[in-house]
């Protein structure tokens, strides 16, 4: 996240300084100096905007932060502890159900065994 934020800052500074790239003119040094000064002044304005917004409130950095928070948001219900607690609760419920079913089957088996008592003449 920090690297993406730094990249946003440098890309914006670069977009302002690009006017001075390859502008050196041997015949007109005043023009070259003016271009370099203009690009430096524009870059300084970009840095002032970032400082004014304390970096994290600047629109480009705020967008990076919002995207990061949206991508990495963990709902309270999705925490590992919550999932483990839910799994344990489900396990206990299933064990209780299996015990009640096996008890029911045992009672049916006992009734059937009583019903199958051989006929004694």
One digit per residue, the tens of pLDDT, for the chain of length 121 reads 788 888 888 888 888 878 777 777 778 888 888 888 888 899 999 999 989 988 888 888 888 888 888 888 777 667 788 888 889 999 999 999 999 988 888 777 666 555 555 555 4
The total number of structural domains in the chain stands at: 2
For 39, residues 6+ apart whose C-beta sits below 8 A from its C-beta are 16, 17, 18, 19, 20
> For the purposes of burial, counting CB atoms within 10 Å of the CB of 71, is it exposed (0-12), middle (13-18) or buried (19 or more)?
exposed
What per-residue confidence (pLDDT) applies to 32? 81
What per-residue confidence (pLDDT) applies to 48? 92
Which tokens go with 21? 């790239």
47 located within any domain: yes
Give the residue numbers spanning the domain of 93: 76-115
88 located within any domain: yes
34 and 50 housed in the same domain: yes
Q: b/e per residue, 24-42, with b = 16+ CB within 10 A?
A: eeeeeeeeeeebeeebeeb
What per-residue confidence (pLDDT) applies to 90? 95
What per-residue confidence (pLDDT) applies to 104? 84
Round to whole Å and give the CA distance between 99 and 67: 49
What per-residue confidence (pLDDT) applies to 118? 55
What per-residue confidence (pLDDT) applies to 4? 83
86 and 45 housed in the same domain: no
> Please, are residues 68 and 74 in contact by the beta-carbon 8 Å criterion?
no
């Amino acid at each position: 996240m920090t690297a993406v934020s730094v990249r946003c800052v440098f890309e914006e500074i670069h977009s302002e300084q690009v006017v001075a790239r390859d502008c050196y003119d041997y015949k007109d040094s005043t023009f070259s100096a003016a271009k370099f000064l203009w690009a430096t002044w524009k870059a300084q304005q970009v840095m002032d905007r970032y400082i004014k917004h304390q970096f994290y409130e600047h629109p480009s950095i705020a967008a990076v932060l919002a995207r990061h928070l949206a991508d990495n948001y963990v709902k309270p219900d999705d925490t590992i502890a919550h999932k483990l607690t839910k799994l344990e609760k489900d396990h206990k419920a299933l064990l209780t159900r299996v015990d009640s079913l096996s008890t029911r089957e045992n009672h049916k088996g006992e009734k059937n065994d009583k019903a199958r008592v051989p006929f004694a003449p």
